[in-house]
């Protein structure tokens, strides 16, 4: 509660961003190609489109500024591990001046099939440790863009075994799976631009999809 009050009272920067986009993932080259870094891949794509260079700011974030859909946007990759993402988002809010209500968090989702994308405004953590951390540190009133990576299999069945799940999300996809996930992060970047342009509800009708190659759910 004290942190949320501090976020409201802290002086905004000279040129606050209209939107903040955070792509979750673990820091360091050894994690950069993991499934768990799909959110960070999306921010990298958005930075390329916006001509933004992400630079280290403090201990918790890399941040860059650019224009997407006619709005000034702060793009962030945390320098924290995923389960400590709240610390990064809290710093990003202070640094960028963007409000939590105009923050978009992009992340991988085990419970969506590979290539699926879901947009949502607000809500709970859904078991995602990164979201739990963000909600605890800053609140829940931010938009989510979920990128499906699917669950690992134990035999022929999807598993929730924590060791198998950890090994899976921290592994690099290869071959056709890698190609699909790369395409999906580009599609997720399109969805982020649509949210900035027209809001979550309208963007959802165009970008929610069940899997790679599918059209919008409608």
Enzyme catalytic residues = 36
Rounded Cα–Cα distance for residues 199 and 176 (Å) = 32
> In this structure, are residues 133 and 84 in contact, taking their beta carbons and an 8 Å threshold?
yes
Cβ neighbourhood burial of 168 (10 Å; 0-12, 13-18, 19+): buried
């Amino acid at each position: 509660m004290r942190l949320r009050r501090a976020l409201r009272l802290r002086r905004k920067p000279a040129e606050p961003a209209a939107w903040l986009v955070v792509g979750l993932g673990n820091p360091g080259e050894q994690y950069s190609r993991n499934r768990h870094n799909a959110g960070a891949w999306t921010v990298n794509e958005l930075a390329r489109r916006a001509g933004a260079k992400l630079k280290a700011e403090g201990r918790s974030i890399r941040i860059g500024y650019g224009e997407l859909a006619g709005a000034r946007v702060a793009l962030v990759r945390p320098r924290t591990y995923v389960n400590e993402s709240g610390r990064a988002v809290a710093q990003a809010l202070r640094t960028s001046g963007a409000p939590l209500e105009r923050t978009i968090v992009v992340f991988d989702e085990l419970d969506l099939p590979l290539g699926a994308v879901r947009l949502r405004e607000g809500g709970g953590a859904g078991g995602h440790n990164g979201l739990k951390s963000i909600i605890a540190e800053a609140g829940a009133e931010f938009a989510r863009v979920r990128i499906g990576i699917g669950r690992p299999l134990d035999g022929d069945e999807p598993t929730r075994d924590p060791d198998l799940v950890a090994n899976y999300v921290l592994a690099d996809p290869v071959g056709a799976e890698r190609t699909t996930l790369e395409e999906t992060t580009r599609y997720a970047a399109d969805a982020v631009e649509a949210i900035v342009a027209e809001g979550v509800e309208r963007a959802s009708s165009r970008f929610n999809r069940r899997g790679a190659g599918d059209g919008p759910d409608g």
